A = this chain, B = another copy of it.
Amino acid sequence: MNDSEQAPYFLEEGEVGFVEYQDFLYPEPFHFVSGGSVPELTLRFETYGHLNAAKDNGILICHALSGDHHCAGVHDIDERKLGWWNFMVGPGKPIDTTRYFVICSNVLGGCQGSTGPGSINPATGKAYQLDFPKLTVQDMVKAQTLLIDSFGIDRLHAVIGGSMGGMQALQWVIDFPDRVGRYIALACGARHTAQAIAFNDTGRQAIISDPAWQKGSYDPDNGPNLGLAVARMMAHITYLSDVGMETKFGRKRRHVDQSKEYFDVEFEVESYLRYQGQSFVSRFDANTYLYLTKALDRFDLHSPDSLDTTLSPVAAQGLVVGFTSDWLYPPQGNREIVEALLRIGKDATYAELAMDFGHDSFLVRAPKLYELIDQFLKR
C-alpha cells in the first residue's frame, strides 16, 4: 500500500481528524482562593463536535498533571500526535462528538498555553515564575467556568477527568452543583495519601536541588532540566504498576559486556524511563510542575469539614472509577467518595476495573473502560 492511496488512520471515519486549539482571553483580574490574583487570564482549549441550539450538550474534559488541552485528533499532517484520549473522544465513541460539544482546556497554572507560572505577567513584562499565586484545584475549576460562560453554556451535560482531572470533576460538582448534569472521576481520590505527598515532595526536591532552578528564576531556555527529568522518571514509575512493568520490561537487557562499571542503560526499563524523563523536559515547565503538584497535595475533600459535608452540595449523577493496580491513587480512595455520596443520599456509582496499567489505566484503550463510560453517558 502507498501512503498517497490511503488516508492516514486519524482521518478515517470515526475519528475527529484535524483539530486546532484556540485561546480564550479573560481580560479581567482573576482572584485565587489564596487571595492572590492575576490581572488577566488565558486558557488554551480545543473543542470537538458542535454546541446545539439549547446549549445543553457540552462536555468538559479535564486533564491530568502532565496532560493538556489536546485530547483528540491531530493538529496537522506533519504533527500527528494524537490527543491523549483520542480513543474515548470522537464520532461514535463513548464521548461522542456527533452528540456532544466536547471542550478540553489546558488547566489554569499549566504550561501549554494557559496562564501559569511560565506566562508573562502583563504588569511586569516578565514571567510570573514564583510570583504566580498559590494554586488550588478550586482555582482551576473557577477559571474553567469563565471559559464555559464564553460559550453561553449554563449547564454542562458532563464533566469528566482522570487523576488531577478527576479532582477537577469532583470540585466542579461541589462548587457549581447547578451547572453539571453528571460527572465521571477516574483514578483519583478524596485526598493524597502520605505516600503520594512524599513522592511529590521528592520530585519537587529534585527540581529545587538542581542549581539551574535558580530559586525559580531560571531562564526558560536553560531551566532545571536534569532535576525535572529525575522528578518525571520517579513519577512515571508511580503511574505504572509492578505487574505492568514486569510484563512490559522484566529484566530485559541491552547488549552490554563490560568488565568496568558503567551507569549507562543496562536494562530496557532504564532506557524507557530515561526517555520519559528527557521528553518531559522538552514539553513541561519546572515551576509549573512545582505548582501543580502542590495543588494536588493540598486537595482534600475531608477538610475543613468531613467528606460527607464537603460532598453535600453535589446534585449531579456520578460515576467514580478506581483501578485495581493503581497504587498511587488506590481503589480505596476512589471507593470512599462513592460510599460517602451514597451515605448522604446522592446518585453515584463506583466501578473498580481490574487492569494492570496502574494509575495510567484510565489512559489505556480497554473495552471495559470504553463500555463503562459509553453506557454511563448514554443512560
Contact = CB atoms under 8 A, between A and B. Distances in A.
B191 A251 contact: yes
Given A230-B230, A261-B294, A263-B294, 13 more contacts: A34-B260, A133-B260, A134-B261, A194-B248, A195-B237, A201-B233, A201-B273, A202-B230, A205-B230, A209-B226, A209-B227, A261-B290, A327-B327
Interface string A232-257: 01100100101001101111000000
A198 B261 contact: no
Interface in A198-244: 198-199, 201-202, 204-206, 208-211, 226-227, 229-230, 233-234, 237, 240, 242
A269 B197 contact: yes
Contacts of A134: 258-261
Contacts of A201: 233, 267, 269-270, 273-274
Interface string A292-332: 00100100100100000000000000000000000100100
B251 A230 contact: no
A237 B198 CA distance: 7
A261 B206 contact: no
A214 to B, nearest CB: 13
A365 B237 CA distance: 31
A35 interface: yes
A113 interface: no
Given A134-B259, A261-B135, A274 B205 contact: yes
Contact of A208 (B245, B263, B327): B263
B133 A246 contact: no
Contacts of A210: 209, 226
A36 interface: yes
Contact of A246 (B130, B195, B248, B294): B195
Residues of A contacting B: mostly: helix
Closest 4 CB pairs of A and B: A209-B226, A194-B245, A194-B249, A201-B270
B194 A246 contact: yes
B229 A209 contact: yes
A193 interface: yes
A34 B330 CA distance: 42
Contacts of A211: 211
A132 interface: yes
Interface string A30-58: 00001110000000000000000000000
A210 B297 CA distance: 26
14 contacts: A34-B259, A34-B261, A132-B261, A135-B261, A194-B251, A194-B269, A195-B245, A201-B233, A201-B267, A201-B274, A202-B273, A251-B300, A261-B290, A266-B294
A291 interface: yes
Contacts of A198: 233, 237, 245, 269-270, 273
B263 A204 contact: yes
A279 to B, nearest CB: 14
A67 interface: no
B206 A330 contact: no
B327 A242 contact: yes
A133 B245 contact: no
Nearest to A196: B242
A93 interface: no
A233 B245 CA distance: 22
Nearest to A241: B195
A162 interface: no
B259 A36 contact: yes
Contacts of A237: 195, 198-199, 202
